Amino acid sequence: MPDAPTPKAARLSSPHRHRGHDVSEARDAATDAGRLWGGRFTAGPDEAAWQLGVSTHVDRQLWRQDLDGSRAHARELHRIGVLDAEELQHMLAALDRCARQFAHDEFAFLPTDEDVHGAIERWLVDELGPLGGKLRAGRSRNDQIANDLRLWCRDACDELVALVGALQQALTDQAEAHLDWLAPGYTHLQRGQPVLLSHHLLAYVWMLDRDAGRLRDARDRLDASVLGSGALAGTTLGLDPAAYADHLGFSRVTENSMDAVASRDFALEVLSACAILAVHVSRLGEEIVLWATAEFGFVRVGDAFSTGSSIMPQKRNPDIAELVRGKAGRVIGDLVSLLTTVKGLPMTYDRDLQEDKEPVFDAVATLRLVLPAIAGTVASLTFDRDRLAAASVGGFALATDLAEELVRRGVPFREAHEVVGEVVRLAESKGVDLDGLDPGELAAAHPVLDRGVADLLDPRQAVDRRDSSLGTASSAVRDQLRRARAAASANVAADRRTS
């Protein structure tokens, strides 16, 4: 005598037995256990083996994407006649109920759930009876997980670009507030030439803009649906890959089913963009740490982004900038982790790819913490104008201007470089900077230095002489600031997520 359907299932579908009672019970048990396989096995997995394979603690983050893919799949099953119209409506309504449970953190995972896909199917079977088991037709976990991760990464890229834009805005706000402030420019952490503080801050805006561009590029390349690939070779049910792309808002369909289920270069590209972004933010954090020291004294970090010492009452530590710097290693490690996982995998899907999600989730989660924190730190900074100005001319920072003036007056640069080096050595021996030498000493170094040298040694004029489109002159920086603001605003607006 056949098993009686559950009350919900009775309204929707009748159980059909095509095999013996024992086989059916084994399949039902496997479904109830939250596994998407098991029929050809006579015993369940060993406990240690099961614990190694369970991934619900990680892939539960994909519930929204998995349910979106399931809705698209249900519509395709209806189109090809696997689900009738009533069954489709019941299925979609159940998927919406499931989504509400996840959204309210009420979905109950069971110890027997192997992954989020199996947990959702187990829930559907509990909710709908045999109808819930129809959704698996024509799809594999292989194309399902690849598609879920693409959807997740697509949203993550949009979110990170917007967070990058917010950090850019914090930097452009500080640049605008300090437009004409002098600052030292460094090479090898030695004073090189004077610049505008705004020019220095805007350098990070353009680094970050390339980071946003890399995230956009990664998003564009991963914006392809893989559903319909099945396990590796497609399916025989007549499912339309383009329809899935339409349902899920993908711009296109992947070209090859084997590539679709086997490749994770889209995740690697997202991780690469994240790692480079983390490195750039780490460099910004490092400069804030340096500038906030008593030795530099260029900046004070706001109280909300500083901490004290457990033993030294006087301490004021730029801990947020340090933590941001430290987190870069974690994100770089996430990239290396996935690169190492995929480097030796034969086609197509291998279970090693269960390890694809955690590094991606971790890198994005880390940047979700880091980017707002460093943006707040930047916004909190108070700069010391006098200290910056004094440092901008220290260390013979205008020596290059003197050499280039010699070139303008007809001296070969090789000779000019040697002449100014001798002038620097003279000033150093006398314990003065270049402007501490008298005109006669400069003229003795080279005859053409007998006139108009004083203007060359004025840091403000030195800055404004660098007036090309990428230079540090006030006029150039004002133009650059307008472009930087536009870039930041475009990135802030990039978050296209709808949920």
- Say if residues 231 and 140 touch (Cβ distance below 8 Å): yes
Kindly write down the DSSP assignment for every residue of 47-94, as one continuous string.
HHHHHHH--HHHHGGGHHHHHHHHHHHHHHHHHTTSS-HHHHHHHHHH
Preceding amide of 42 cis, omega within 30: no
- Minimal CA–CA distance to 30: which of 19, 20, 21, 41? 41
- 3-class SS of residue 184: strand
Handedness of CA 72, 73, 75, 80 (dihedral sign): positive
Give every CB contact of residue 199 below 8 A, 6+ residues apart in sequence: 183, 472, 477, 480
- 3-class SS of residue 295: coil
CA distance 360 to 108: 25
Could you give the residue numbers annotated as active site?
188, 309
Helix (H) or strand (E) holding 474: helix 474-492
What the block records as the tokens of 342 is 């995929």
Kindly write down the DSSP assignment for every residue of 105-165, as one continuous string.
T-----TT--SHHHHHHHHHHHHHTHHHHGGGTT--HHHHHHHHHHHHHHHHHHHHHHHHH
Determine the distance from the C-alpha atom of residue 222 to the mean position of all C-alpha atoms in its chain, rounded to a whole number.
14
- The β-bridge relationship of strands 299-300 and 382-383 is antiparallel
The H-assigned helical ranges of 306-393 are: 319-342, 357-380, 385-393
- Minimal CA–CA distance to 323: which of 277, 298, 289? 289
- The β-bridge relationship of strands 252-253 and 224-225 is parallel
Per-residue DSSP letter, 307: B
